[in-house]
Amino acid sequence: MPKIRAENIERHKVLTRNMLLDAAELVLSRQEYAGASLSLIADTAGIPRTTVYEYFGNKDELLVAVLEDRVPSIVNDVVAELADVDPGTRIELIFERLLSAFAERPSAGRVVFWVLRRLPTWGVERVDLVLAPIRDQFADALRDGIDQGVFTDRDLEPSVTMLFDLLMGGAENVLASGGKPAVVNNEVALRSSLVVRGLSAS
């Protein structure tokens, strides 16, 4: 009879799933994709490997579950309280907040890139959904900047894509550096200031 970790089966399942997500995030902070095996994740969680399959069909499903469980709180912090901030500063804050967050929680950043690169379309679509609030904030900042005459008039969709690609490029460099503060500061200053100057109507 398997050990029950809570007062009832439903709570036990929630607790066990969270233990697996915690273990997966820990393993992902130390291992490359190939080394982050389900066996290692199960051992880290102190759970039999066979139990993992009661919750996730394979490593990719677990990876996406970590993405959808852990990254939204980071995204929410990135886009919090930006409505009353001027458009240029809003864009700079998004760069600063996300790059700093990935420096502090590299496992979350690595999951984003692993899902984007390793999984087929369904994985990419899940990343897009999780990161959609950032795209939305870029679009709002651009729209407000154009309306206020701060930014030159432009098509929103390609401009949002450009901003987002620059943000992801900066995030990748931050992760590759191991989250060094100097790299974070350099990426934020270089990318966000260049973007804002490039958008400027003056």
Structural domain of residue 8, as residue ranges? Answer: 1-57
Q: Indicate which CATH number applies to the domain containing 20.
A: 1.10.10
Number of compact structural domains in the chain = 2
Pair 126, 178 in one domain: yes
**Per-run averaged pLDDT (10 residues), the chain, 202 residues:** 63 90 89 87 92 92 93 96 92 95 91 88 92 96 94 92 94 92 91 84 68
Pair 67, 52 in one domain: no
Pair 89, 48 in one domain: no
Looking at the chain, list the stretches that DSSP marks H as alpha helix, in order from N- to C-terminal side. 9-28, 38-45, 49-52, 59-79, 87-104, 106-118, 121-147, 156-176, 181-199
Q: Indicate which CATH number applies to the domain containing 141.
A: 1.10.357.10
Cα 70 from Cα 80, distance rounded (Å): 16
User: Cα-flanking dihedrals φ and ψ of residue 158, to 5°?
Assistant: -65, -30
Pair 28, 7 in one domain: yes
What pLDDT score was predicted for residue 10? 85
Check if the beta carbon of residue 187 is closer than 8 Å to that of residue 165: no
Q: Give the mean pLDDT of the chain.
A: 90
What pLDDT score was predicted for residue 7? 66
Pair 83, 94 in one domain: yes
What pLDDT, in 10s, does the model give residues 137-156? 999 999 999 999 999 998 99
**177: burial class by Cβ within 10 Å (0-12, 13-18, 19+)?**
middle
